[in-house]
Chains A and B, each alone.
Chain A
Amino acid sequence: GAVVSQHPSRVICKSGTSVKIECRSLDFQATTMFWYRQFPKQSLMLMATSNEGSKATYEQGVEKDKFLINHASLTLSTLTVTSAHPEDSSFYICSAVVMGGEQPQHFGDGTRLSIL
């Protein structure tokens, strides 16, 4: 149980392209999903918290117009990196959790984004 699917697993695209990453909870309803960014040999850094049906809460220093988050259903959240540039190249990971419970976050397999 508690499977989180993330797609695509890898994206390589040109500078200026917008890239959409999907995060799905496959066997549970996730009222809250989280988006993280991880640079090589570093820990996970929280970018934003996504609650179903409401606006995402962004961490300090994360541009909300750059990283668009949509959580339209209880099983799907999307992160769109708009007009991506080489400095946006990173490993993006989502996680999901059922609000109000003791259950820990379960993570997707991540998306490796490479901007040329």
Chain B
Amino acid sequence: EVQLVESGGGLVQPGRSLRLSCAASGFTFDDYAMHWVRQAPGKGLEWISDISWNSDTVAYADSVKGRFTISRDNAKNSLYLEMNSLRAEDTALYYCAKEAVVRGCFDYWGQGTLVTVSS
């Protein structure tokens, strides 16, 4: 059974940093690209970043480019999101998502970790 478990969320002040983790199991982690998608309270879904299976290729939404860094450790079956210079508008539930066989869509999602940016 595929499982994705996010952690690392919490309350953080504007301008500070936070590192999210996603522990994956139930599939061959290094066969798939992985993504982060967020959802602000009561709002829709926003893709923010992805990383290829071997970390060679990464991409970011403009809203987080230069502030967030995605990475992975295939030996640990883990995905990460380093978030710097956090803003109030980064407040959201952050999901990690496994890419499907079809590139660019997501066949499994974690339950999310909530990040709240507030003073």
Does B associate with A? no
